Amino acid sequence: MSPAPKTPCDDAARTLLVTGGAGFIGSRFVTRHLAQHPDDRIIVLDALTYASRMDALPPEAQASGRLEFVHGSVRSPVLVEALVSRADAVVHFAAETHVPRSISDNLIFFETDVLGTQTLTTQIVRHAGRIERFVHVSSSEVYGSAHVDPMDEAHPLDPTTPYAAAKCGADRLVSAFAHTYELPAVILRPFNNYGPGQHLEKLIPRFITHGLADEPLTVHGRGEAARDWIYVDDTCDAIERVLAAPIRDVRGEVFNVGTGVATDVLTIARRTLELTGRGPELIEHTTDRPGQVSLHRADPKKLEERVGYRTTTALEDGLARTVAWYRDHPERWRHQLWMRSVPVADSDGTITWW
């Protein structure tokens, strides 16, 4: 693990508040940050929903007192204010994140993603004098399908699912608060993350675990939907660079976090099966998902030009590492097998499992 760049606050120990820090990207960020910044402390606020895992957080950091875990909701003003008042910087991951689940039951997405972000940002305003930086982790889903390829940060926001709409609402809320209250806020829009420990509802771990079990896997439509797949450690490194950059270079800015390379879902399915020792005969096709986005490819130039960061993990290498993790750690995911699909009601009331 390469050392992270120095931040403006590295001369003194910092306390970071990380919301959603027991989730997939959040827990990886927490683990890596504590290893790279031995004097820092982190407070994790997480509601421990189905996609969060306490065992993804480093136990040695909890034992030493460098990591404090708080079980609670980002929608609780009293709790959030108490934690923000102790922090020097905030990294905001907390969100509901699964597109098909938002199609079948979207209320919790707007409550957590929008109202939770409003609660957090309001408390940051109240403690603006001590918060050196606020990094809001948004999503490329706010763009909808590509109007231009690749997609830069000026691409129109055109969300096509309830999840994307909720993320878009939170994204714009942070931007508005940053301008109104002059907050030191930065918005990141990661493209499609993958890596060890991701919940089985997500596409790549779903494909991997079907392959490992020698079970048929389902591809929506013809599998032509293409995404910019980014390895989770690269996303964490991008966050570190934004935390480290001079505030004048990032304040109020939006940055894509992606590779600039798009790969279609069918190719991902075939390559994943190869890495698990299976053949393409396991692939089955079904109807396309409602609100499907046809293409996402990041234009990552702004992040590179402003903070000097480009992703370093090639898709082939990232997939190989990810498959190896799922092969070697079945005890970490077998209990999730029943959650690989969710029921979605069609307009005529028909239930389809996605």
pLDDT for 9 equals 45
pLDDT for 34 equals 98
Residue 287 in this model has a pLDDT that exceeds 90: no
Within a domain: 342: no
pLDDT for 7 equals 46
Structural domains counted in the chain: 1
Indicate the pLDDT class of residue 96, thresholds 50, 70 and 90: confident
Residue 10 in this model has a pLDDT that exceeds 60: no
The alpha carbon dihedral of 58, 326, 21, 77 has a sign of negative
Residue 1 in this model has a pLDDT that exceeds 50: no
Average per-residue pLDDT for the chain: 91
Within a domain: 214: no
Q: What percent of the chain has pLDDT over 90?
A: 79
pLDDT for 108 equals 84
pLDDT for 6 equals 40
Tell me, rounded to whole angstroms, the distance of Cα 22 from its chain centroid.
12
Tell me, rounded to whole angstroms, the distance of Cα 306 from its chain centroid.
21
Q: What percent of the chain has pLDDT over 70?
A: 91
pLDDT for 351 equals 55
Query: Which residue, chain included where needed, has tokens 């508040």?
Result: 17
Range of the domain at 35: 15-193+231-260+293-312
User: What does 170-190 look like in DSSP terms, one character per residue?
Assistant: HHHHHHHHHHHHT--EEEEEE
pLDDT for 349 equals 60
Within a domain: 304: yes
* 235 touches 190 (CB < 8 A): yes
Q: Using CA atoms of 165, 166, 172, 175 in order, give the dihedral in degrees to the nearest 10.
A: -150
Within a domain: 144: yes
Q: What's the rounded Cα separation, in Å, for the pair 206 and 284?
A: 14
Within a domain: 78: yes
pLDDT for 3 equals 39
Residue 156's alpha-carbon distances to 151, 224, 233, 304, in angstroms, are 9, 22, 28, 21
Residue 314 in this model has a pLDDT that exceeds 90: yes
pLDDT for 254 equals 99
- The whole-number average pLDDT for the span 19-23 is 97
Q: What's the rounded Cα separation, in Å, for the pair 88 and 236?
A: 19
| Residue of 290 and 255 predicted with greater confidence | 255
Within a domain: 4: no
pLDDT for 344 equals 59
Indicate the pLDDT class of residue 289, thresholds 50, 70 and 90: confident
Within a domain: 118: yes
pLDDT, one tens digit per residue, over 104-113 is 778 888 999 9
> The domain that contains 58 carries what CATH number?
3.40.50.720
- The whole-number average pLDDT for the span 173-178 is 98
- The whole-number average pLDDT for the span 220-248 is 97
Within a domain: 273: no
Residue 183 in this model has a pLDDT that exceeds 70: yes
Residue 23's alpha-carbon distances to 19, 144, 168, in angstroms, are 9, 24, 20
Residue 346 in this model has a pLDDT that exceeds 80: no
